[in-house]
Homo-oligomer: A and B are copies of this chain.
Amino acid sequence: MNTTEISESPSRQRRKEARPAELMAAALELFVERGFTATKLDDVAARAGVSKGTLYLYFASKEELFKAVIQQGILPVLDQGEEMLSQFQGDAGALLEAMLLRWWEMVGSTHLAGITKLMISEAGNFPEVAQFYYENVIVRGRGLIRTVLERGIASKQFREMDVETAIDVILAPQMMFTIWRHSLGPCDCGKQDPEAYLKTHMNLLLNGLLTGEKKK
């Protein structure tokens, strides 16, 4: 009743290199849609265009597949974020906006965005993966924003503030927006477009963060 299929590819193909990435992509989609336990490996394999047996050639178990989806998917984004931070020339406000936009392009608007919801849903069932995610995604991600804020405070562009809470206030709307699209989003189709949302969000934020006279 619920089985996903591709129903193409008349004959069997041998593509050892491409399989793992294709399987992880299929798994990510289904894990995000249905959750880990509710996702059947037959469906993952079918969506990737192979049989379940093939899946087991590349991943030792369902849990290993889950770990691979989380780890392989998100780490490159953090690397790139840290790279960007070290390169950027310009004031802290522009940097903050650039980073959030970049995040939207690389994660928010792609399938990777679902990892946020997936990790939140499944953290309780996979404490070790949750620990990994916390140390390698949450801590590093917050570190990026912390650096921007501290740079802005040092240059007097931002006022003094409780930096850790400010990080929450900056990130939470982004996270919620992302989570929304993969959960209750389908219930309200009249949601505005992401870039406009981000601009308005930034405007509201900066007017709470900037030291000088309020702008706009």
**What is A's interface to B at a CB cutoff of 8 Å?**
32-38, 117, 119-125, 127, 130-131, 133-135, 138, 159, 161-162, 164-166, 168-169, 171-173, 175-177, 179, 182-184, 186-188, 192, 197, 200-201, 204-209, 214
Contact = CB atoms under 8 A, between A and B. Distances in A.
A188 B168 CA distance: 14
B184 A130 contact: yes
Contacts of A192: 164-165
Nearest to A173: B172
B35 A120 contact: no
Contact of A131 (B124, B135, B187, B207): B187
B124 A183 contact: yes
B204 A35 contact: no
Nearest to A39: B37
Contacts of A175: 172, 176
Contact of A208 (B120, B176, B204): B204
Contact of A125 (B35, B119, B133): B35
A184 B128 CA distance: 11
Tallying the copies of this chain within the complex gives 2
A208 B134 CA distance: 30
A177 B168 contact: yes
Nearest to A161: B204
B35 A187 contact: no
Contact of A183 (B121, B162, B165, B200): B121
13 contacts: A34-B125, A37-B38, A121-B121, A127-B186, A130-B183, A131-B187, A138-B187, A165-B192, A168-B201, A169-B204, A172-B175, A172-B177, A208-B209
Contact of A184 (B120, B162, B197): B120
Contact of A201 (B117, B120, B169, B187): B169
A197 to B, nearest CB: 6
A207 B158 CA distance: 12
Contacts of A164: 192
